[in-house]
Amino acid sequence: MSSVSILPPGSTLGMLGGGQLGGFFTEAALRMGYKVAVWDPDPLAPAKRYSTYSIDAPFDDEEQIIFFSNNVDAISLEWENVPSRLVTKLEQTHLVKPGSKSLKLAQNRIEEKTFLSSNKFPVTPHEFVLNAQEFKGIKIPKPWIVKTATLGYDGHGQWKIENDTQERELLKAIHGESWVIESVVDYRLEMSVIIVSNGKGNLVAYPPTENTHQGGILRMSISPPRLKTEIQNKAIDLAKEVIGCLDDAGVFCVEMFLTATDEILVNEIAPRPHNSGHHTIDAFSISQYESQVRALVGLPVIEPDFLNASVLLNILGEEADILSDTDHKFELYSDSSARLYMYGKQSVRPRRKMGHVMFLGGSVEDLISKAENTLMALKN
C-alpha cells in the first residue's frame, strides 16, 4: 500500500473496465493532469479513445497483471463484472478505490441484499433461490422480479414473472444459477444518489436524480427530481448511511424506490459512477468522474455546486444509427440546450447504451418534453 497521501498530476491512474463510465473518468483525469491506463479485454472499448496506455488482454492474464501493476500508481474501476480476484491481488501492492470488499458485494445480489437487510436498511420483500428446484418453495406471491445473483447489469439477468407459464419458460432457460426473487413493488418513482467517500469518514452526496427505465435499462434521469425537499434529504441521508456502512473509498451510487406511501427502499448499490450521474459533467461544478479522480488521488472530496437543471436521455441500441442518419432532421442538432455524447461503441446490440443526450437549463418540464420529443423522433 502506498504511503503517499496525494498523488500528484503526472501520475498514472489505472482503470479497470473501459466503457463509457471509464471514458468519462479518463477525460476528467486527463484534464486534471493525470495519465490513465485503461484495461479492458475489448480492444475497441470506448475509454481507450482517451487512454495514455491500454491493455486488451483478459483480466486473468498474469503477464499483463504484472505490467499493469508496474505502470500505475493507483487504481479504480467502472464495472461490477471486473473479477474481484484481480482487485484483491492488486490491492496487495496498490491503492484500489473502491476495493474488493465493495466490489464483491455488488457482484452478488444475495450478498448485497444480506448486507442491506442485516444492517436494517429498507429493501423490497425478497427470497433467495439457490437452485431451480427451490423455485417450488417460493412464498412471495407473483408478480416477481427475478434477478440472477451474479453477472447482471443494464437489465441483463433480470425478468418480470407474472404467471406460472412465464415461470415454466424461465425454468427451461436457466442453468445452475442462484437467484434473488423480489416482489414487484408499487413504487411511485425510482431515484438514485451518488455518494463520494474519501474512505476516512467524509461522505459527500449529489442531489438525487429521478430515473425512468425501460426493460430494466435507464432511459431518462431528471435533475432536480420532482420531489419534496424533505424526501430528497431523506434519500441523501439513507444513501450516506448505506455507503458509510460499506466503509470504502471512491464514488458509489445507491439506487432507490419511492413507494406510493413515500417510503424509500434501497434497490442496489454500485461501487462506481453511474449512468444516472452523467449530468454531473454539465450540470454541477464537479462531475462524479472528477470526484472519482479526487477520491482516488487523495484530493479533497467536496460538495459540488448545482449549476442548472438537466434531463438525460439514453440512446439505446439501433437508435444510435437512426440518430446518425443524415436524412433525419433531429431538432436536437439545432437546439443549443442539447449536448450529444456518443460513446464510440463499435457494435450495436439491442438496447445497448450507445450514447446519451443531455438537455440543459430552463425548467425540468421543458427539458422532459424535449427528451420525449427526441424519443418520438427516434421511433419514426
- Based on the shown chain and the rule CB under 6 A, indicate whether residue 78 belongs to the binding site for ligand AIR: yes
CB distance 196 to 295 below 8 Å: yes
Q: Which residues contact 356 (CB under 8 A, 6 or more apart)?
A: 275, 278, 312, 313, 314, 315, 341
Segments of 130-224 assigned E as strands: 144-148, 158-161, 179-183, 187-198, 203-205, 209-214, 217-223
Tell which one of 352, 366, 375, 377 touches ligand AIR (CB under 6 A): 352
We find the least distance from the C-beta atom of residue 39 to ligand AIR, in angstroms, to be 11
Minimum Å gap between C-beta 353 and ligand AIR is 5
Residue 147 lies near ligand AIR (rule: CB under 6 A): no
Part in contact with ligand AIR (CB under 6 A); list of ranges 50-58, 75-83, 108-116, 290-298: 75-83
- Minimum Å gap between C-beta 267 and ligand AIR is 14
CB of 306 to ligand AIR, least distance (A): 24
Nearer to ligand AIR, 54 or 275 (CB): 275
Block residue for cell numbers 482487485: 87
* Interatomic CA distance for residues 245 and 263, integer angstroms: 21
Is the bond preceding residue 143 a cis peptide, omega within 30 degrees? yes
Residue selected from 13, 16, 19, 121 as contacting ligand AIR according to rule CB under 6 A: 19
Residues 257-316 that bind ligand AIR (CB under 6 A): 275
Angle at 79 between CA 75 and CA 81, to 5 degrees: 110
| Only segment of 77-85, 144-152, 251-259, 310-318 that touches ligand AIR (CB under 6 A) | 77-85
Give the angle 95-268-108 at the CA atoms, nearest 5°. 70
Residue 273 preceded by cis peptide, ω within 30: no
Would you state the cell numbers that stand for residue 82, as one nine-digit string?
471486473
Find the binder of ligand AIR among 13, 14, 20, 281 (CB under 6 A): 20
Sole binder of ligand AIR in the list 94, 109, 353, 356 (CB under 6 A)? 353
Minimal distance, residue 166 CB to ligand AIR, in Å:
25
Minimum distance between the CB of residue 25 and ligand AIR, rounded to whole angstroms?
9
Count of residues for the chain?
Answer: 380
Q: How many residues bind ligand AIR (CB under 6 A)?
A: 14
Q: Is 178 helix (H, G, I), strand (E, B) or coil?
A: coil
Q: Which residues contact ligand AIR by CB under 6 A?
A: 17, 19-22, 78-80, 153-154, 275, 345, 352-353
